[in-house]
Structure 1
Amino acid sequence: MSPRRLTAATADEAGGAITQSKSQRAYQLLHDRIVEGTYSPGYRLVLDAIARELDMSVVPVREAIRRLEAEGLVTFERNIGARVAEIDELEYHDTMETLSFVEGAAISLAAGLYSKADVDEARTINEQMRESLAAFDPVKFTALNEAFHRRLSDVSPNAVLGDVIDTCWKRLARLRQSTFSFVPSRALPSVDEHEAILGLIEAGADPRRIELAVRAHRLATPDAYLQRTHADTSQNRP
């Protein structure tokens, strides 16, 4: 079989694949740094500097930033350029408040339906969260946190609640995938609260009590985040 002849079309395809690969690499680096908090809200993204760091032209970096802008993680201001998007405090709090109600309701409806395997799997995820605290990785911790919550809410027989919960998770991902990087003091209490919720489920506690525990747990992190944000703002005032 003769080797494939490199035509202009195949050369363009190869060049496009290389550009896409570089764009993906730039996207992943910027995405991770934003989510981890290395690039804080308002941080200016200088295309030339990023391109030099990654040893590539500004074209794939610009493509990566456009993708991040579409996801709501980056904003572009005329005469200023690209910046890491500020967290909309009101939208963040409202989303978490909504999630506290719908997830609390979903888990309370599932209270009598959990099998031992369901609880064991959720506890395993929670222990992985606890183990990750030694070398704190906010991105991994946040992914495990979502996995824990979804493991419990997915058992709910109410599919509509499940759709609302999924929408809230997607909205949180757009706002910021990891708030634990901003309020690391919430990490250990969050794991302990997970264990307390599992204990209530195992003990066959009243569904209303479980629902209130989930709601209180859910609201603790945004409350801590907003308190810290307001404290930092007050300290920076002249």
Structure 2
Amino acid sequence: MESEVRRLAGGTLMTSLTEEIAVTHTLVPSKAERAYVYIKDNITNGTFGPGFRLVLGQTAAELDISAVPVREAIRRLEAEGLVTFTQNVGAQVVATDAREYRYTMETLSLVEGMATAMAAPFLEASDIASARAINAEMREVLTAFDAKQFTALNHDFHSVIFEHCSNLHILDLVHRGWNRLATIRESMFTYIPGRAQDSVREHDDLLSLIESGADALTIELAAREHRLSTLRAFLESPGHAEHPSVS
């Protein structure tokens, strides 16, 4: 086989060219990957806000690469729902309004609920401990509420669980949903701070269900209801009426 280690005269060892290339590729990200990470990071941290125009030449110059890998990165981000491309306008960061937020949350409640249920049997005691530690940190944040920090911890909590989902197609849909939510520059908890306390409690309840060996449907429905409760709280809040755009 090409990937096997081959012994040369004198007893020296040499890996195949294919294997060496694979190792090099792992250590050094491609130009397209660099462009993808650069643009996505700037979207999620708010530097590239909703409607921000992504100019190929400008981005390429900032990264000291050609426009080709930047174009590839933008196509990838477009497929993930973070960027939209319009003729005569070009690529822009998507603007998420209240309707899009609702659609994303409704979809995420379904796929993340299933991912959570499928992940449950594969969670080790250390994973549960990590999730509980993150939730404890979220509880501390409630005292001097920081919506942005709370939201980041919320993602960390859920990812500890859903990343163990064995169905990569479902997991990809979960990632896409979270990516869409990442385009929202202000956390929804800014408008519904009272929801944060309930969310922390529901996290504890969800972990207890998983620890007790509850059946998959029970876990799935609990995870689904957890997300839908946040959506309902936002839709019923004064902030929903005052902020028709949540971007």
SS at match of 1:157: coil
Number of the residue aligned with 1:217: 226
Match of 2:204 among 195, 201, 211: 195
Which residue of 135, 138, 159 corresponds with 1:129? 138
Kept after mapping to 2: 8 A contact 1:113/1:155: yes
- Closer/same/farther in 2, CA of residues 142 and 203 from structure 1, 3 Å limit: same
1:185 paired with 2:194, answer yes
- Secondary structure, in 3 states, of the residue corresponding to 1:204? coil
Structure 1 residue 229: Cα displacement: 4.0
Matched, 1:70 2:52: yes
- Residue 88 of structure 1, CA deviation: 1.3
Match of 1:103 among 104, 112, 116: 112
Provide the C-alpha distance between the structure 2 equivalents of 1:223 and 1:71, rounded to a whole number of angstroms. Answer: 32
Contact 2:148 2:186 in 1 (8 A): yes
Q: Percent identity?
A: 43
| TM-score, normalisation: structure 1 | 0.62
**In the aligned structure 2, how far is the partner of 1:134 from the partner of 1:165?**
30
Counterpart AA for 1:135: A
Residue pair 1:129, 1:145 contacting (<8 A) in 2 also: yes
1:93 maps to 102
SS at match of 1:180: helix
Query: How many pairs does the alignment contain?
Result: 161
Match in the other structure for 1:140:
149
Match of 2:124 in 1: 115
Q: In the alignment, which residue of structure 1 is the partner of 2:30?
A: none
CA shift, 1:165, in A, is 0.8
Structure 2, unmatched stretches of 5+, are: 1-41, 55-93, 243-247
Cα deviation code 1:157-191 (max 9, x no counterpart): 11111111111111011134510001001000000
Letter in 2 for 1:173: A
1:173 aligns with 2:155: no
For 1:163, give the aligned amino acid.
D
Structure 1 unmatched runs, 5+: 1-27, 36-63, 73-84, 234-238
Task: Name the CA shift for 1:201/1:224 in 2 (closer, same or farther; >3 Å).
Answer: same
Contact 1:142–1:177 (8 Å) recurs in 2: no
Q: Is the 8 A contact 1:118 1:151 kept in 2?
A: yes
Contact 2:109 2:223 in 1 (8 A): yes
Q: CA deviation at 1:104?
A: 0.6
Structure 2 counterpart of 1:150, one-letter code: S
Residue 230 to residue 144, structure 1, CA distance change in 2 (3 Å): closer
- Could you tell me how far 1:230 is from its partner in structure 2? 7.8
1:159 and 2:168 correspond: yes
Aligned-partner Cα distance in 2 for 1:92–1:125: 25
Matched residues in 1 for 2:209 and 2:219: separation?
6
The amino acid that maps onto 2:184 is L
SS of the aligned residue for 2:123 comes to: coil
Q: Distance in 2 between matches of 1:231 and 1:113?
A: 38
| Structure (1/2) with the larger helix percentage | 1
